[in-house]
Structure 1
Amino acid sequence: MTILITGGDGYLGWPTTLRIATQTDDRVIAVDNLARREWVESVGSTSALPIGSIDERLDAAREVHGVQNLSFVEGDLVEREFVDELLSVHEPDTIVHTAAQPSAPYSQINGERANFTQHNNLQATRNLLWGLEEHDLTDTHFIETTTTGVYGAPEFPIPEGGATMENQGERDEVPFPAMAGSWYHLTKSHDAANMRLAHKQFGIPISDVRTAITYGTETEETNADPRLSTRFDFDYYFGVVAHRFCAQAVAGYPMTVYGKGEQRKPFVALEDAVEGLAQLALADPDDRPSDLTVYNQVTREISIVEIAETIADVANEFELGVEVEHFENPRDEDETHKMVMENDRYDHLIGGQSTTFEEGMRSLLGTLVEYEDVITAHEDRFLPGVLTED
């Protein structure tokens, strides 16, 4: 058996790769073009936690965890020839597709970056799906991390994937309508539609894992050695809100809540996100889904202002004086939206949430205080501003 993980050098992809490789004797192949490092550098920022080269990471995985089944292939999934060679040589039984340009704010900077984001993300997914069909690999379980952002912000509880539509007295189950709010989120809406079509036309078994805002610095595997750390971005463009707030607390910088901040967003701890992907990837072949299944990879919803207040309370334990300040919202969104998202399927998959949000923030701050110098050196990146030219 062969498991292929795209985006294997990324924030979510690297710890997922480690989790899977340590729990199976099957071949595990991580694939990445290492572009995330370049994108973050292009906006003038860096990872708060130092991260080694991919070779250093692989060496550490072998030394610390005894991993002998893990290899790395560098390449760009946008290039059709590379994908064809990748699939024909390795013939994966499972693909965990986490590779993408993942930042909504980055995709909103200008037309060039919007075009890049859509071309990069959509082309990579299409190449993989069509590659499975053209290389007679349609039994391969295709698992992709899309995003809960494809749902937008409806005023009713968001179902786990589908919706019931009624017209003129007739009812039917239909895909939930795409209501994405950024050029990045639209790529995942299109990916979801393309995966549905690939399942219908090619019969590929697909797990559409709609990933919530993911927070945390470590998993059980990465925590074993500093060389195994995954990246931690804290800037406006690549740092998710909880990460940015924690970094601001460490730097003694006011936590920047945009607008009222009463809108609730879906969240999942890195450990819980990794566990779900590993469970799907390592499922016994007889138990793998043959259909298209949507998972809402979320463990709870929390408002932006509650995030800031929670971090401010926890920061007191580290003697960090931090204030919460409200700024004009650069995004077009309902600042009071009370999101509710169903997650029964995903909750069952991981056996329940592993840690509370408050515990996650305590662990996160405990790690970040060690890297205060790196964060303060880049505190001008907390807010949108003039970017470094590519």
Structure 2
Amino acid sequence: MRVLITGAAGFIGSHLCERFLKEGFEVIGMDNFITGSPDNIAHLFGHPKFKFLHYNVINYIYVEGSIDIVLHFACPASPVDYMSNPIHTMKVDSLGTLNTLGLAKLKKARYIFASTSEVYGDPFVHPQPETYWGYVNPVGPRSVYDEAKRFSEAMCMAYYREHGIDVRILRIFNTYGPRMRTKDGRVIPNFITQALSGEPITVYGKGEQTRSFCYIDDLVEGILRASLKDGLSGEVINLGNPEEVKIINLAMLIVELTKSSSEIIFTPQPPDDPKRRCPDITKAKELLSWEPKFSLREGLENTISWFKKKLRKNL
């Protein structure tokens, strides 16, 4: 079987390329390197079943030959990235979604869309099930990402209803692990980089807000199962770790694991920063027989080890 993965040089996309190759698929990776890095997929060049296309998904896409699955994972995902590239972010999850859906229609391929827990906004329902419609500020600074993903979900369902495309929407909650950038802007790479560099660890507000953190290997397993199982057309599925963690407790755990002398300091809360975020993964358990296996401590230890090597290379 042959799959196309957009955002292939990104954090999640590169792990997906690796896993699908391991499963015996031919993989076509596509990326324009706005936030992805060639380093993430350098080890795959020369693999007989891997082909890379340096291309921007906001343009018309044509790929020769058959394609069985399209995985649309291209999009800046860190607030630092999507707030500094707001128009491009919205194009990736509007024009990019339209173009990849069009390709799936042409090739009669299954379509997997990487949505996000951000579609729930600052939720009133907790934990968040797929049936919750969300509470999103449509004109706030995060809206370029939140609303673009919500639009893409609507586009996916329109293609499912009108053209019968086998669409699956995966709402991905906070994910972490090796290959995140040191200056990614998201909380775990921020804290680890600050701790390893001996810099103050910057916690927004009082650190009472919560997140749930899923290790990359667990997430990739969930995506693979959602991609390969039959009978899921039109389904929306949360993928994430249901263990809820206060940000202040995360900061203290990273200080402990890195044996850092960094102090924890508190900075103003960004606009529209959600107070609580945690997935209801009942549906993933029932449909995919999936739930995370890695504990936060175990995943952080693996991630810290990778960041240590990365930071040494940058010296």
> Same fold, TM exceeding 0.5?
yes
Q: Which residue of 1 aligns with 2:65?
A: 90
Q: What is the letter of the counterpart of residue 2 of structure 1?
A: R
Gaps of 5+ in 1: 38-46, 63-67, 164-175, 218-230, 378-390
Tell me the residue number matched to 2:56.
Answer: 76
Runs of 4+ more than 4 Å apart: 53-56
Separation (CA, whole Å) in 2 of partners of 1:106 and 1:370: 24
Q: SS in structure 2 opposite 1:299?
A: coil
Counterpart of 1:22 in structure 2 is: 22
Note the C-alpha offset of 1:241: 0.3
User: Where do residues 84-233 of structure 1 align in structure 2 (5 Å cutoff)?
Assistant: 85-86=62-63, 89-109=64-84, 113-133=85-105, 135=106, 137=107, 139-163=108-132, 176-177=133-134, 179=136, 181-217=142-178, 231-233=179-181
Q: Does 1:324 align with 2:264?
A: yes
Q: 2:94 aligns to what SS in structure 1? A: helix
**Secondary structure at the counterpart of residue 123 of structure 2:** coil
> In the alignment, residue 156 of structure 1 is paired with which amino acid?
V
Counterpart AA for 1:275: E
DSSP 3-state at the match of 1:162: coil
- Preserved contact between residue 234 and residue 240 of structure 1 (Cα < 8 Å): no
Aligned residue number for residue 365 of structure 1: 304
Map 1:276-355 onto structure 2 (within 5 A).
Answer: 276-283=222-229, 287-289=230-232, 291-300=233-242, 301-316=244-259, 320-333=260-273, 337-347=275-285, 349=288, 351-355=290-294
Tell me which residue corresponds to 2:34. Answer: 35
Change (3 A) 1:367 1:103: closer
Cα separation, 1, equivalents of 2:124 and 2:8 = 36
* Partner AA of 2:34 in structure 1: A
TM-fit CA distance, 1:54 = 4.8
Q: Deviations over 1:303-347 (max 9, x none)?
A: 21121011122222xxx222211112233336xx34443112224
TM-score (norm 2): 0.89
Q: 1:2 to 1:243 in 2, by over 3 A?
A: same
* CA 1:53–1:321: 2 relative to 1, 3 Å: closer
Following the alignment from structure 1 to structure 2, what is the Cα–Cα distance between the partners of residues 162 and 34?
A: 34
CA contact under 8 A between 2:8 and 2:30: conserved in structure 1?
yes
Counterparts of 2:195 and 2:215, CA distance in 1 = 19
- Aligned equivalent of 2:11: 11
1:232 is displaced (CA, Å) by 2.4
Aligned residues of 2:79 and 2:185 also touching (Cα < 8 A): no
Which one has a bigger Cα radius of gyration?
1
Q: For the Cα contact (< 8 Å) 1:146–1:209, is it kept in 2? A: yes
Question: Which string of whole-angstrom CA distances, capped at 9 and with x for unpartnered residues, describes residues 121-170 of structure 1?
Answer: 3111011223433x2x4x4211011110110122222443224xxxxxxx
Bigger relative contact order, structure 1 or 2 (CA pairs below 8 A, ≥6 apart): 1
RMSD (Å) for aligned C-alpha atoms: 2.3
Alignment correspondent of 1:273:
219
